[in-house]
Structure 1
């Protein structure tokens, strides 16, 4: 399953890179890197970033939405357990990134409230949102499937992805409260 996910992610990124006529400003970016995505993202404080702004950091990414009452709280808890087990002392080296699959309703205010409620304070935590097209593009790269099933509810994959400092997929775990140790080890290996 992990190899299939890695293949899907690599194929998605390769298509995005090959289909783009824009010449990369930094030609040293790996073709399989998520840093090839040129989408813009908004943080809870209104700052606009691109994924390439995170280059040089190990990224652990998950897609959630703030009004979720089932899987997202559990995925967020998994991310917190992973962070605690990694126990890395330098937050400049890594980011735990939550990506909204509901950018219409996940306003910066709701994102800030989510961060506060789940105690995701610290430089190592980042919550981002973008428009629907950019969100779908990144979801495809992460092999996350989601579908809106009511005005405030989504059905979605439960995947946590780990990326190297160069933005290349290093590990994925699918499911809730599974493969925590494998994910922790993948992050630690990328931090070496």
Structure 2
């Protein structure tokens, strides 16, 4: 039988210093459990009651990494970062806590609230479960930065054809990382939505016909070419301008590591992970021009940076030709 711990909150004056954007009403129920309640945004499509264990707290990023149970009819059990709108929530928890919370989903974003701590283990009982499995040696892998030449990697696209990243030389290449089973709207689905909006904005603009979007899955065990092809149909795209690909796990792992993506496959399960996001713009010479960190970039920003890259390359080309 699980023992429920009686935990005390910080004083209200401490909370007042941490109020960020929302007004929170906090209360402590009679059973002594930590509880918080907040004003939710309107137009919530779905709300789920979820249980899990806190594995990492990223207060600066307003995120809590939680190893959560299966959410029936929505998401398999996995570990992933969840957005937190109210900073007061961070005062209630620590790594290792067993918690229950509400997960709110809209068309374009998600966040958690109403966190209750139901079990707080002793410090010595905490385990380091979020260590990556079969991780690559960071000291042996050189990170890629703006201004670096993009190395060649061999991938397999949704048509089950082998492609090389060097085959995109002469075109502007924009690629992002995702996986098709990601259900949280402001993670992988937002990357695909941003690509769709930028794709629609660019396809009728004659700024430079030589550009290509590439969505790379880091879930090669599940995201087969057939899965990727079916997934791509939702975006009504021309595969000559936007394609999907994956590759050998070792190739994908090295690639994402060099761009700063942290992908934790826990319990040796491809579905039990958490991850961050990167999106990259590469000019026709194969030189990295932009690296977007996270999910806050917009399709308008992408279009603007792609246009700038096209103009810079045209100027470089004219100068090289002596014109």
Query: What range describes the TM-score normalised by the shorter chain of this pair?
Result: 0.7 to 0.9
Which of the pair is proportionally richer in helix? Answer: 1
Alignment of structure 1 residues 67-106 onto 2, 5 Å: 67-70=181-184, 71-87=187-203, 88-89=205-206, 92-106=209-223
Identify unmatched segments of 5+ residues in structure 1. 1-10, 15-30
Q: What is the TM-score normalised by the length of structure 2?
A: 0.46
Task: List per-residue Cα deviations over 1:149-181 (Å, max 9, x = no partner).
Answer: 554354222222111111211112223243543
Q: Are 2:208 and 2:310, in contact at CA under 8 Å, matched by a contact in 1?
A: no
Q: Does the residue aligned with 1:95 lie in a helix, a strand or coil?
A: strand
* Compared CA separation, residues 164 and 109, structure 1 to 2 (3 A): same
1:152 equivalenced with 2:268 (yes/no): no
Highest RCO, 1 vs 2 (Cα 8 Å, sep ≥ 6)? 1
Deviations 1:52-72 (A, max 9, x none): 111111111100111111111
Q: State the Cα distance separating 1:95 from its structure 2 match.
A: 0.7
Segments ≥4 residues shifted beyond 6 Å: none
Distance 2:258 2:290 in 1: 13
* Structure 2 match to 1:66: 180
Q: Which has the higher strand share?
A: 2
> Counterpart in 2 of 1:138?
255
Larger radius of gyration: 2
RMSD (CA atoms): 2.4
Paired positions, count: 164
2-side partners of 1:164 and 1:59: how far apart? 7
Contact 1:91 1:123 in 2 (8 A): no
- Look up the SS of the partner of 2:159 in the other structure: coil
Q: Which moved more, 1:87-96 or 1:157-166?
A: 87-96
